[in-house]
Chain A
Amino acid sequence: DTGVSQDPRHKITKRGQNVTFRCDPISEHNRLYWYRQTLGQGPEFLTYFQNEAQLEKSRLLSDRFSAERPKGSFSTLEIQRTEQGDSAMYLCASTLVTGGYEQYFGPGTRLTVT
């Protein structure tokens, strides 16, 4: 068990470009979450998967954001036509659907849109 990993750790992109982030959860965890965190704020829920099914998506998430979790393993988060307001830390977390639902967070991907 190596914990939750995310790639890349940092991404700088120009406005209008598309970016994709990857998250590898803890192997036995069947639920995976994406959050966005801006400076001085708590993590904001974006979406979550149970196995390969996307069960919930925040109403705050625009159509430029899409997430997938093929085969219920790793997940990707894509942002199309990035805007400066997308600059944030994108966090992934995983959990088991039993017990206390404790979330384990990855190191995050810091996105800067110039």
Chain B
Amino acid sequence: ELKVEQNPLFLSMQEGKNYTIYCNYSTTSDRLYWYRQDPGKSLESLFVLLSNGAVKQEGRLMASLDTKARLSTLHITAAVHDLSATYFCAVDPSGTYKYIFGTGTRLKVLA
């Protein structure tokens, strides 16, 4: 069974702190995506990682992909309250074009 697991599921952190969200997947995939979802809203694309070793950064968020370990990380630097949201990773198992989403990490940044 294809699985995409994120940890932690819940994360409460203080403003200014750093933290990393992990996304592990059980299938071969060269493409991994990170999305943000605010309560009651749809999903917003954050990063598209297309190859092993890919690293992308936008503001306080940085994502990386290790296809050999089947692991992606989303690193948060000096968190601010506006980053509070649920973050999902998703993989596209090779050749299927069926995106499998992770369980989500609910992030709360405390002022």
Contact = CB atoms under 8 A, between A and B. Distances in A.
B66 interface: no
Given A33-B99, A105-B43, A106-B42, A42 B88 contact: yes
B27 to A, nearest CB: 13
Given A42-B102, A101-B92, A48 B97 contact: yes
A55 B97 contact: yes
Contacts of B96: 56
Contacts, number: 54
Contacts of A93: 43
- What size tier do the contact residues of chain B reach? 20 to 34
B31 A45 contact: no
- What size tier do the contact residues of chain A reach? 20 to 34
Contacts of B45: 102-105
Interface of B: 4, 31, 33, 35, 41-45, 48, 50, 88, 90, 92, 96-104
